[in-house]
Amino acid sequence: MQSYRNGAKPPPHRWIPTILPARTMNARRLVFISAVYVLSMAEPAQTVDVVKVVSKKVERKIELPGEFLPYQSVVVRAKVTGFVNKVNVDRGSIVKEGQLLAILEAPELTAQRLEAEAKVQSIESQRAEAEAKVVSAESTYQKLKGASATPGVVSGNDLVIVQKAVDAAQAQAHAFEESARAARSSVQALKDMEGYLKVTAPFHGIITERNVHPGALVGPGASSPAMFQLEQNLRLRLVVAVPEVDVSGIERGARVSFTVPAYPGESFTAPIARVAHSMDIKTRSMAVELDLNNSSGRLAPGMYPNVLWPVRQAKAALLVPDSSIVTTTERTFVIRVHDGIAEWVNVSRGPAAGDLVEINGPLREGDLVVERASDELRAGTRVNIQLTSKPS
């Protein structure tokens, strides 16, 4: 039996059996993990198809409502007050510039013209008499002047009196001439007013409204009824309100496509002709006009087409195939392959651009991502890659 001096305690024999088994278990666990790692390294890597992340400026199209307006439109009113005598056109009539639309009659205007013409004749008669007096006075003056060459035949005072008579006659004749010119101007003005009794078309177009009939009293001003609505529909304006965020796609002369509900399955195009260059403060949009040839007459003002408006981005976007994007309940990601290891990279999905989809995330152009990705390919998995050339 072993003895211990100086009160020394025996060694903890009972602790040794407890500690040794724990160390043995940890060692066995480490060996097991190492074996699993070695086995995983020994397993053949999975082969996946990968594509390169593409970076380029994308032009996409958004659908905007538009409205057709006539290229020209005018409300035809009478320039003078009168009664409608005859109407030559009706709604739907195609008219040419200068074509007679209606005839008015204004008896008072005719009476004024006849009175002015009579006044001209009276003034012309008075002017003729005044010119005759001038001729007579000048003849008398010349005779007295010739006689005055003989001393004592004509006094100097008589010659002065006759000279004044000549001047007075010339002044009166000149006054009648001015009066006659003014009277003739009045007659011409009244004739011009009578010319307005013939209502003509200001341009080639279609009568879309007829508001008067024979016997109606019409005249100038908003208080008088409009006679006709004339529109030029062989050319149309397509007006589009482009949102502020998409005005970068406005390029004058560029052709824009649109569809019309009246012709399903058919597409039309028209060039951008005019830009307002000013934002509507209420809608935060800019008015843009497209010119459209409508010689066939198939389209009409008031129709509301659906315009496919091009939107061009200021900087390049990152694009991948739609099949490369994985969406779960927790995240949206792509699987990037770096040094043979699969990595899950969180992204946000943007609009489609053809066969590709715009993404936003910590990626760069040229990065390799799995073409047909799924959450079954876990992060950290070793893979072999096979590059395809799908993105363009």
Which CATH number does the domain housing residue 246 bear? 2.40.30.170
Look at residues 297, 312, 327 and tell me which one is the last residue of a structural domain.
312
Total domains in the fold of the chain = 3
**Are residues 83 and 194 located together in one domain of the fold?**
yes
Is 39 in a helix, a strand, or coil? helix
pLDDT at 188: 85
DSSP, collapsed to helix, strand or coil, labels residue 384 as: strand
* pLDDT the model gives residue 18: 43
Residue 301 inside a domain? The answer is yes
What per-residue confidence (pLDDT) applies to 161?
A: 75
Amino acid at 97: E
Let me know whether 82 and 121 are in one domain. yes
Query: Could you tell me if 323 and 361 lie in one domain?
Result: yes
pLDDT of residue 29: 52
Q: Does residue 26 lie within any of the structural domains?
A: no
Both 168 and 284 in one domain: the answer is no
86 and 188 fall within a common domain = yes
Longest dimension (CA), the chain: 201
pLDDT at 347 (0 to 100) = 95
Q: What is the predicted pLDDT for the residue at 225?
A: 86
pLDDT of residue 360: 92
Nearest in space to 76 (alpha carbons), one of 55, 59, 99: 99
Q: Are residues 321 and 295 in the same domain?
A: no
* Cα separation values, 391 from 323, 334, 353, Å: 12, 15, 11
Range of the domain at 356: 46-57+316-387
pLDDT digit of tens for each residue in the chain (392 aa)? 444 444 444 554 444 444 445 455 555 555 444 443 444 454 577 899 999 999 988 777 889 999 999 999 999 999 999 999 999 999 999 999 999 999 999 988 888 888 888 887 887 777 777 777 777 777 776 766 666 656 655 566 666 676 777 777 778 778 878 888 888 888 888 888 889 999 999 999 999 999 999 999 999 988 888 999 999 999 999 999 999 888 877 888 989 999 999 999 999 999 999 999 999 999 999 999 999 999 999 999 999 999 998 887 767 889 999 999 999 999 999 999 999 999 999 999 988 888 899 999 999 999 999 999 999 999 999 999 989 876 65
pLDDT computed for residue 141 by the predictor: 67
What's the DSSP call for residue 221? S
244 and 308 inside one domain: yes
Could you tell me if residue 19 is inside a domain?
no
Give this prediction's pTM.
0.60
- In this prediction, residue 145 carries a pLDDT of 64
Non-local CB neighbours of 153 within 8 Å, separated by 6+ positions: 147
